[in-house]
């Protein structure tokens, strides 16, 4: 049994479809507007697509939950960003939030098959390029809710941050011991923040603490990446 939640984001606009499927059944039920995955308020708007084609319905029918992923209990939110061109084709698909290689591939390969089916935005009556986002949530029935799993990892990550602060103030430690202990705590914190983000995409608080931990570890490239993601999520 699986749950798939597909959300198409258009700037501050969002449209959602929810479906409950048997293993390989195409029977759909319970289609309702999806709830926002962040604290932001989004308006609901239908997706404009070419006649007789629904992007959301297509994605729900075509995306599969690989058996290997089910066996490994892989869950989370795959978030991709892409550009819709004036001719309805898409390009520059970018993975913003990864869950696992197989689930990421499911979303990207399915999205690629929608190229040419999109209705572009318009300015002054002329089609223009636009940046869109798509969020696909993979959720296995009867497992702990994704938001709770995210909170659990976030809490563990913060415990390592607090422990690092204790070590920073411990004058009894030699400099080498302090550095080793701090690095260990920040790396453990990063692991849990990464896991938390896998279950809750584009959460600004998670991005911030990833930025903070990478800053403490001196990883400038990752720090800048986290900072940019944090600003974009606000």
Q: Which residues contact 122 (CB under 8 A, 6 or more apart)?
A: 128
What pLDDT sits at residue 54? 76
Distances in Å between the Cα of 119 and the Cα atoms of 72, 114, 153, 169, 198 are: 37, 11, 39, 58, 30
Residue 7 and residue 118 share a domain = yes
Residue 135 and residue 24 share a domain = yes
What pLDDT sits at residue 7? 54
First-residue to last-residue Cα distance in the chain:
35
| Coil, strand or helix at 21 | strand
Give me the domain span that covers residue 64.
2-140
Residue 227 and residue 112 share a domain = no
pLDDT beneath 70, residues of the chain: 1-53
Residue 102 and residue 34 share a domain = yes
What pLDDT sits at residue 98? 95
What is the CB neighbour count within 10 angstroms for residue 131?
A: 14
Please count the structural domains in the chain: 2
The last residue of a domain, from among 91, 123, 140: 140
Residue 211 and residue 152 share a domain = yes
Q: What is the pTM of this model?
A: 0.77
What is the CB neighbour count within 10 angstroms for residue 191?
A: 15
CATH code, domain with 75: 3.30.1150.10
């Amino acid at each position: 049994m699986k749950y798939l939640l597909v959300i198409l984001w258009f700037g501050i606009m969002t449209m959602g479809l929810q479906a409950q499927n048997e293993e390989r059944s195409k029977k759909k039920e319970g289609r309702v507007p999806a709830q926002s995955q962040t604290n932001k308020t989004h308006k609901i708007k239908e997706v404009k697509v070419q006649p007789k084609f629904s992007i959301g319905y297509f994605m729900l029918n075509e995306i599969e939950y690989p058996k290997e992923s089910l066996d490994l209990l892989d869950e989370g939110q795959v978030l991709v960003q892409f550009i819709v061109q004036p001719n309805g084709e898409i390009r520059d698909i970018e993975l913003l939030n990864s869950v696992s290689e197989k689930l990421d591939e499911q979303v990207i390969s399915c999205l690629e098959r929608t190229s040419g089916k999109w209705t572009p935005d318009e300015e002054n009556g002329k089609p223009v390029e636009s940046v869109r986002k798509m969020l696909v949530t993979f959720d296995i029935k009867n497992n702990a809710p994704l938001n709770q799993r995210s909170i659990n990892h976030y809490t563990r990550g913060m415990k390592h941050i607090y422990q690092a602060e204790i070590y920073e103030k411990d004058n009894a430690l030699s400099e080498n011991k302090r550095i080793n202990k701090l690095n260990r705590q920040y790396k453990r914190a990063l692991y849990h923040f990464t896991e938390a983000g896998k279950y809750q995409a584009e959460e600004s608080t998670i991005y911030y603490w990833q930025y903070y931990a990478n800053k403490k570890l001196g990883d400038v490239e990752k720090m800048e990446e986290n900072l940019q993601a944090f600003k974009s999520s606000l």
